[in-house]
Structure 1
Amino acid sequence: MTTTKTSSRPLPEEVETLRKKLPKNAYGTSLLSALLLWWNGYDLRDLLPRSTFFRFKRKLLTYGFDISGGHQ
Protein backbone atom coordinates (compact mmCIF):
# COMPACT_ATOMS: atom_id res chain seq x y z
CA MET A 1 0.00 0.00 0.00
CA THR A 2 1.38 3.39 -0.96
CA THR A 3 0.40 6.70 0.50
CA THR A 4 -0.12 9.79 -1.57
CA LYS A 5 1.51 12.98 -0.41
CA THR A 6 -0.70 16.02 -0.70
CA SER A 7 0.85 19.02 -2.33
CA SER A 8 1.42 22.22 -0.44
CA ARG A 9 0.54 24.49 -3.34
CA PRO A 10 -1.12 27.77 -2.36
CA LEU A 11 -4.87 27.98 -2.79
CA PRO A 12 -6.28 30.02 -5.66
CA GLU A 13 -6.88 33.67 -4.79
CA GLU A 14 -10.67 33.35 -5.00
CA VAL A 15 -10.63 30.54 -2.42
CA GLU A 16 -8.59 32.69 -0.05
CA THR A 17 -11.04 35.56 -0.61
CA LEU A 18 -14.00 33.36 0.31
CA ARG A 19 -12.22 31.87 3.32
CA LYS A 20 -11.54 35.37 4.65
CA LYS A 21 -15.25 36.26 4.40
CA LEU A 22 -16.24 33.28 6.57
CA PRO A 23 -15.37 32.89 10.25
CA LYS A 24 -12.78 30.24 11.06
CA ASN A 25 -14.22 26.77 11.53
CA ALA A 26 -17.56 27.91 10.07
CA TYR A 27 -17.22 25.59 7.11
CA GLY A 28 -15.97 22.24 5.97
CA THR A 29 -14.31 21.47 2.68
CA SER A 30 -17.65 20.46 1.14
CA LEU A 31 -19.26 23.79 2.02
CA LEU A 32 -16.25 25.75 0.80
CA SER A 33 -16.15 23.72 -2.43
CA ALA A 34 -19.85 24.37 -3.05
CA LEU A 35 -19.36 28.07 -2.36
CA LEU A 36 -16.47 28.19 -4.81
CA LEU A 37 -18.56 26.47 -7.50
CA TRP A 38 -21.38 28.98 -6.92
CA TRP A 39 -18.86 31.85 -6.97
CA ASN A 40 -17.76 30.64 -10.42
CA GLY A 41 -21.30 30.61 -11.79
CA TYR A 42 -22.48 27.03 -11.28
CA ASP A 43 -26.08 26.43 -10.23
CA LEU A 44 -25.76 24.33 -7.09
CA ARG A 45 -29.37 23.14 -7.38
CA ASP A 46 -28.24 21.12 -10.39
CA LEU A 47 -25.14 19.74 -8.65
CA LEU A 48 -26.17 18.95 -5.08
CA PRO A 49 -28.84 16.73 -3.58
CA ARG A 50 -31.85 18.82 -2.55
CA SER A 51 -31.31 18.42 1.20
CA THR A 52 -27.62 19.32 0.90
CA PHE A 53 -28.42 22.40 -1.19
CA PHE A 54 -30.85 23.73 1.40
CA ARG A 55 -28.54 22.90 4.31
CA PHE A 56 -25.68 24.78 2.61
CA LYS A 57 -28.02 27.63 1.64
CA ARG A 58 -29.20 28.05 5.23
CA LYS A 59 -25.64 28.05 6.57
CA LEU A 60 -24.26 30.40 3.91
CA LEU A 61 -27.11 32.89 4.28
CA THR A 62 -25.93 33.55 7.83
CA TYR A 63 -22.67 34.83 6.28
CA GLY A 64 -24.31 36.86 3.51
CA PHE A 65 -24.04 34.40 0.62
CA ASP A 66 -27.33 33.62 -1.14
CA ILE A 67 -26.59 30.60 -3.32
CA SER A 68 -30.18 30.36 -4.57
CA GLY A 69 -29.41 32.83 -7.34
CA GLY A 70 -26.42 33.38 -9.58
CA HIS A 71 -23.27 35.05 -8.31
CA GLN A 72 -22.86 38.65 -9.38
Structure 2
Amino acid sequence: MRISINTDVCIGAGQCALAAPKVFTQDDEGFSELLPGQEDGAGDPMIGEAARACPVRAITVEQG
Protein backbone atom coordinates (compact mmCIF):
# COMPACT_ATOMS: atom_id res chain seq x y z
CA MET A 1 0.00 0.00 0.00
CA ARG A 2 1.19 3.51 -0.75
CA ILE A 3 -0.30 6.66 0.76
CA SER A 4 0.09 10.14 -0.66
CA ILE A 5 -1.27 13.56 0.23
CA ASN A 6 -1.85 16.15 -2.47
CA THR A 7 -0.50 19.19 -0.67
CA ASP A 8 -1.89 21.49 -3.38
CA VAL A 9 -5.41 20.35 -2.45
CA CYS A 10 -5.12 19.87 1.34
CA ILE A 11 -6.95 22.52 3.37
CA GLY A 12 -5.76 21.32 6.78
CA ALA A 13 -9.11 20.07 8.05
CA GLY A 14 -7.27 17.43 10.10
CA GLN A 15 -9.83 14.69 9.66
CA CYS A 16 -7.11 12.26 8.58
CA ALA A 17 -5.14 12.87 11.78
CA LEU A 18 -8.27 12.30 13.83
CA ALA A 19 -9.16 9.07 12.00
CA ALA A 20 -5.64 7.57 11.85
CA PRO A 21 -3.36 9.36 14.32
CA LYS A 22 -0.65 6.69 14.02
CA VAL A 23 -0.24 7.53 10.32
CA PHE A 24 -1.17 11.22 9.85
CA THR A 25 -0.30 14.44 11.62
CA GLN A 26 -0.42 18.13 10.81
CA ASP A 27 2.60 20.30 10.06
CA ASP A 28 3.36 23.67 11.63
CA GLU A 29 1.01 25.38 9.18
CA GLY A 30 -1.84 22.97 9.94
CA PHE A 31 -1.66 20.92 6.74
CA SER A 32 -1.73 17.15 6.77
CA GLU A 33 1.38 15.08 6.45
CA LEU A 34 2.41 11.49 7.00
CA LEU A 35 4.31 10.63 10.13
CA PRO A 36 7.90 9.53 9.40
CA GLY A 37 8.04 5.98 8.04
CA GLN A 38 4.30 5.78 7.33
CA GLU A 39 4.37 6.03 3.52
CA ASP A 40 3.11 2.44 3.39
CA GLY A 41 0.57 2.88 6.18
CA ALA A 42 2.14 0.22 8.40
CA GLY A 43 -1.07 -1.80 8.14
CA ASP A 44 -3.23 0.68 10.05
CA PRO A 45 -6.86 -0.35 9.47
CA MET A 46 -8.05 3.27 9.69
CA ILE A 47 -6.22 4.53 6.61
CA GLY A 48 -9.21 4.03 4.34
CA GLU A 49 -11.44 5.87 6.78
CA ALA A 50 -8.92 8.71 6.96
CA ALA A 51 -8.94 9.03 3.15
CA ARG A 52 -12.76 9.00 3.06
CA ALA A 53 -12.94 11.60 5.85
CA CYS A 54 -10.88 14.13 3.88
CA PRO A 55 -13.36 16.80 2.75
CA VAL A 56 -11.30 17.67 -0.36
CA ARG A 57 -10.12 14.15 -1.21
CA ALA A 58 -6.44 15.07 -0.89
CA ILE A 59 -5.42 11.57 0.27
CA THR A 60 -4.75 8.76 -2.17
CA VAL A 61 -4.33 5.16 -1.05
CA GLU A 62 -2.95 2.78 -3.66
CA GLN A 63 -3.04 -0.97 -3.03
CA GLY A 64 -0.26 -3.16 -4.23
Higher radius of gyration, 1 or 2: 1
Between Structure 1 and Structure 2, the one with more helix by share is: 1
TM-score interval, normalised by the smaller of the two chains: 0.3 to 0.5
Between Structure 1 and Structure 2, the one with more strand by share is: 2
TM-score by length of 1: 0.36
TM-score by length of 2: 0.38
Higher relative contact order (CA 8 A, sep 6+): 2
